[in-house]
Amino acid sequence: MIIATFIAKNALRNKRRAALTILSVAVSCALLVTLLTLQREMTIPPESEAASLRVIARNKVSLAQPLPAKQLAVIDKIPGIVAVSPFSFFGGNFREETVTSFAQFAVDPARFQNIIVEGKIAEGSYDNFIKDRNSCLVGADTLKRYGLKVGDQMRFTGTFYPANLDLRIAAVYQGTVDDRNVFFHHKLLDELLGDPGTVGTWYLRVESADVANDVIARVNKAFENTSAEVRAETERAFQMSFMSMLGNVKVLIGSISTVVVFTLVLVTVSTMSMAIRERFRELAILKALGFRRRELFSFILAESFGLAALGAFVGIGGAWAFWTFLDLQTLTRGFLVYFEVTPRIMATGATVAALLGLFSAIAPSIAVARMSVVKGLKTLD
Amino acid sequence: MTVPNIVTIRDLTKTYQQGEINVTALNNISLDIEAGEYLTLMGPSGSGKSTLLHIIAGVDRPTSGECRVQGIDVTRLNESDLADWRNQNVGFVFQSFNLIPVLTAFENVELPLLLTRLSRKQRREQVNTALELVGLLDRRHHLPKQLSGGQEQRVAIARAIVTDPALIVADEPTGNLDSASTQEALGILQSLTRTAGKTVIMVTHDPKAAAFGSRSIHLEKGELVNE
C-alpha cells in the first residue's frame, strides 16, 4: 500500500457522499464558468484586427437622429480615411417573425467592400451584389439558420421605417466577428423612403490604428457648429456603448458568482468536516501509531483537494463541452452567437476549486491537530 | 543476572479538571517495569490504570513526575518527537481493535511501516511475518468486516508488533472477545514476552486474563495498593 492508496480509499469510503460532493462541486463549477462566460460575452464584444480600424460616426444628439447624406463629400476629403459608406439600421422583421435577431443595414456596396475587408465572399458574387439594387449580402450564419441559398428572396417588414424590403440574395460573407447581418443598397432604402437625403450613421475604415484617434478628432471637428454635429468613435467603443445600456451586468453576474462560490464553500466545508468527524477515532489511532499533525493534515488536504479537483474536472470540462458543442445561436434565437469558455475562465474555475479544497481542509485539520489521542480514542464510532 | 528496567516511573501525578472538580487520576506513583515482563494493571473503573498506561505509551502527559521508557523521559518530548518515538518503540492493542475499516488486514498491519524508510518489499516481508505470527497470513486480503472479533484483535496485535517495538501496551484487549478468542489473544501476547523478549503492559478487569501475566499490580483511586 502507498499513502495515495490510503487517501483514495478514505475519500471514497462513503461512495454516495463522495459522489454527491463531487457532483455539487461539479455543478457549482459549471455554473460559475457559465456565469463568467456570460459576463464576458455581455460586457466584452468580440474583437478583430479589422474592427480596430473601423470608426462609426453618428449624430451627436442621439443614435436615432439621422445625419445629412451630403456629409459624405466632407468626410471623403478627411485625411487618413481609406473608405466610408452610409450605414443605416433598417430593423425589419424577417418573414412572419415578430422579433428578428439579425440586423439589416443599408450601405453603399461599392464603398462597403473596402470596409469589411476580413469578410470572405465567393469570387464574383460581390459584383452581383453591387450590380443589382434589389439584392443583398447575407451572413453565412443567417443563411444556414434559415436554410437559404444564393438566389432566394428575403422579405422584411419594416418596424423602424415605414417600408418593406424584398431582397434577392446575391452574395454570402463569413469570417467576421458576427456573420448574421444582412446588407443591402442604401439607394433602395432612399427610394422606398422618398429620398430623404439622410443616413443613419457613417461607417469608416482608417489607414492604421495609429491614426484612428486623429481621424475621429477630424471627423468630429469637421461638423462642429453645424446643424448635424457628429460623434465619431471606434467600432469597439460604439459596441461598448450598446453594452452599457444593459445596465451593470458585470456587478449582477459577479454577485451571483460570489453567491455560487460561497454556497460551494459551505457545502464542501460541511461535507469534509462531517467526513473527518466520523473518523476522529481512526485519526486518533493514526496519531497513536506515530503519524504527526503535518501528515494527518496532508491526508485531509489531499482528500479534500482530490474531491474538489474531481468535481472541477467534471464541472469545468462538462461546461466547456456543453457550450462548445451546443448550437447556442439556435437555442437563444440568435441572442448569443458566441459563448466561448476561454482558457482564462477555465483557469479561474480551477483556481476557485483548488482554493475550495484547501479551505475546506483547514477546519477539520485544526480539529484533528487539537485532538488528544486519549480523547480521540474515546470518540464513539 | 539483573534485568534492566524498561520503564521507570517516579512521583507521577496526573490531575485534570472535570467541570469545577479537580480530579486526581494518578497520585504520586513510582514504579519499575523490567524488560521482558508481562505486567497486568488491575483495578476498578476510574482507578487510573488506563491513564498510567497512556502516559507510559506517550499518548498522555502527566501533571508532574517522571516516566522514563528505555532511558528516555517521554514526558519531556515534544509532540513531533513523541510521535516518532511511539512509532519506533510502542505497539498498541485496544479493546475495540480499532482497525481502519477500508483497509485490508495486510494494509492495516502495514500502516505503521509507512512512516519508516523501509522499501515496499521490506514492508511486505515484515507484514507477512507479523501476520504469520498471529496465524492470519491466509486472511491478509480480508477487510475487517470479513473477520471475526478474535481475528480482528489478532490483526491488531500484528499491527502492534510489525515495527518490532520493545514495548506493547494493551488496554483491555479481551473486553470484546469470547473466551476462545480471549485465550488465543492472551496466548499470543504471552508468547511475545517469552519468545521475543517483548515487554507487555496490559490493563484488564479480568483476573483470568491477569493470570497470563508475570506480575500484576493494582490501582485504587490513583494509587498503587499492592504489587
Q: What is the pLDDT of residues A16-72, one digit of tens each?
A: 888 988 898 899 899 889 888 888 777 665 566 677 788 999 999 988 899 999 999
User: Per CB distance under 8 Å, which residues of B are interface residues toward A?
Assistant: 54, 57, 59-60, 79-80, 83-84, 86-88, 92, 94, 96, 98, 100-103, 106-107, 110-112, 114-115, 120, 159
- Cβ A288–B103 below 8 Å, yes or no? no
Residue of A nearest to B127 (CA): A1
Query: Which tops the pLDDT comparison, A371 or A318?
Result: A318
pLDDT in tens, A220-241: 999 999 999 999 988 877 777 6
Q: Grid coordinates 516518532 are at which residue?
A: B84
Residues 6+ apart with CB under 8 A from A47: A177, A236
pLDDT above 90 (res A252): no
Are residues A266 and A122 part of one domain? Answer: no
Q: Are residues A287 and A339 in the same domain?
A: yes
Q: Are A77 and A213 within one domain? A: yes
Q: Could you tell me if residue A348 is inside a domain?
A: yes
Residues A170 and A275 in one domain: no
Q: What would the pLDDT profile of A276-303 be if each residue is shown by its tens digit?
A: 888 888 888 899 999 998 888 988 889 8
Residue where a domain stops, chosen among A175, A197, A228? A228
Indicate if A71 and A193 belong to the same structural domain. Answer: yes
- Kindly state whether residue A22 falls inside one of the protein's structural domains: yes
pLDDT of chain B, 227 residues: tens digit per residue: 566 889 999 999 999 888 888 889 999 999 999 999 999 999 998 899 999 999 999 999 999 999 999 989 999 999 899 999 999 999 999 888 889 999 999 999 999 999 998 999 999 999 999 999 999 999 999 999 999 989 999 999 999 999 999 999 999 888 888 888 898 889 998 988 888 889 999 999 888 888 999 999 999 999 998 65
Interchain pair B60, A1: CB under 8 A:
no
Domain termination site, one of A198, A228, A258:
A228
pLDDT at B110: 95
User: Which amino acid would we find at residue B82?
Assistant: L
In this structure, are A68 and A15 located in the same domain? no
Same domain? For A71 and A213 the reply is yes
Residues A66 and A184 in one domain: yes
A54 found inside a domain: no
Q: Bigger pLDDT: A183 or B196? A: A183
**pLDDT, position A96:** 84
Is the CB of B86 less than 8 angstroms away from the CB of A282? no
Contact yes or no for B79 and A3 at CB 8 A:
no
**Residue A233 falls within a domain, yes or no?**
no
Residues A204 and A315 in one domain: no
Taken in order B79, B82, B88, B94, is the CA torsion positive or negative? negative
Model confidence pLDDT, tens digit, residues A148-159: 999 999 999 998
Q: Which residue reads 494518578 in cell numbers?
A: B26
Q: What is the pLDDT of residues A326-356, one digit of tens each?
A: 876 666 655 566 678 889 999 999 999 899 8
- Of A228, A262, A285, which residue is a domain's last? A228
Are A162 and A287 in the same domain? no
How much is the pLDDT for A372? 84
Q: Are strands A198-199 and B21-34 parallel, antiparallel or unpaired?
A: unpaired
Report the b/e string of B173-200 with b at 16+ CB within 10 A.
bbbbbeeebbbbbbebbeebbeeeebbb
Shared domain check, A35 and A104:
no
Residue B26 grid cell: 494518578
Name A137's Cβ contacts closer than 8 Å, sequence gap at least 6.
A109, A121, A126, A129, A170, A171, A172, A173, A182, A183, A184
Mean pLDDT of A133-147: 92
> Taking the mean position of all CA atoms in its chain, how far away is CA A87?
25
Contacts of B117 (CB under 8 A, 6+ apart): none
Q: Does residue A381 surpass a pLDDT of 50?
A: no
Q: Would you kindly state where each structural domain of chain B is located, as residue ranges?
A: 5-226
A6/B114 touch (CB, cutoff 8 Å), yes or no: yes
Report field, pTM of the whole predicted structure over 0.90: no
Q: Which residues pair with B72 in a beta bridge?
A: B69
Within-domain flag for A117: yes
Looking at the domain assignment, is residue A53 inside a domain? no
pLDDT at A102: 86
Which residues have C-beta within 8 Å of that of residue A105, sequence separation ≥ 6?
A: A87, A88, A89, A90, A181, A182, A183, A184
Q: Is the CB of residue A32 less than 8 Å from the CB of residue A257?
A: yes
Give residue A55's pLDDT: 92
Instruction: State the CB neighbour count (10 A cutoff) for residue B96.
Output: 17
**Do A170 and A254 reside in the same domain of the chain?**
no
* ipTM value: 0.89
Q: How many domains does chain A have?
A: 2
Chain B contact present for A378, CB below 8 A:
no
CATH 3.40.50.2300 given to domain B5-226: no
A280 belongs to a structural domain: yes
The candidate with the shortest Cα–Cα distance to A167, out of A178, A257, A181, is A181
In sign, the C-alpha dihedral spanning B123, B125, B127, B130 is negative
pLDDT number for residue A245: 58
Determine the structural domain holding residue A133 and report its residue range.
61-228
**pLDDT tens digit sequence for A81-124:** 999 999 999 989 998 888 777 889 999 999 999 998 888 998 88
Average pLDDT of the residues of chain A: 86
Residue of A nearest to B99 (CA): A282
The alpha-carbon gap from B216 to the nearest alpha carbon of chain A, in Å, equals 24
Burial bucket for residue B61 (CB in 10 Å: 0-12, 13-18, 19+): middle
A210 vs A203, higher pLDDT: A203
